[in-house]
Structure 1
Amino acid sequence: MTATACVDRLVWTTGDGTTVTCHGPGTRYTPDQGKAMSPDCGHRYDRPGEHQVTVTAHWDVKWEATGGDGGRLAQTRTTEMVTGLREAQVLNTR
């Protein structure tokens, strides 16, 4: 049997009243992006503190078995975490 699973979308509940839906895997961060927002899936918090974050991954699973059997399954997996967001701002007067 062969099974192929792909993430269809990720649904993030960010803990500050915002829900973000990301279609596909998103864009990998590279240092040249600096502090720019993600071009296809991102969220910026307005204030520091602890946030209860939940992400639900929606998977599309295609399967094939010997003899011609096969099909598709939809699966979801949810993960919850508390994340601490801290920020330090510095003013350089020189």
Structure 2
Amino acid sequence: MAIKLVVIIGATLQVVAAQMVTPAPSQTLWGQCGGVGWTGPTTCAPYTGEVLLQVMCTTYNPYYAQCIPDYRPTTSLPPTTTPITTIRDCMPMLSCTTSS
């Protein structure tokens, strides 16, 4: 019975060690991230320069893929609350007022 316990503990330690593998490195903005024969990183890291950009690996042909900015909108813009001046508001005495 003691031998089974040692085997179970040993197997458990191997599983834990296998799960603690460090993640693969990610490619930076504008770097190559794929293609036939490519052995480097195949995922793109977010760009954290002046503006935070999501980056995606884009395939151009079977031999080359590149990390480029993902300009697809992620959220909708909030509605504007700024009053708008119209011609109608300026016409009576040529003094413009804003509409609410």
Structure with bigger gyration radius: 2
| TM-score computed with the length of structure 2 as normaliser | 0.21
Q: Point out the structure with the larger strand share.
A: 1
User: Which structure has more RCO (C-alpha within 8 Å, separation ≥ 6)?
Assistant: 1
TM-score w.r.t. length of structure 1: 0.22
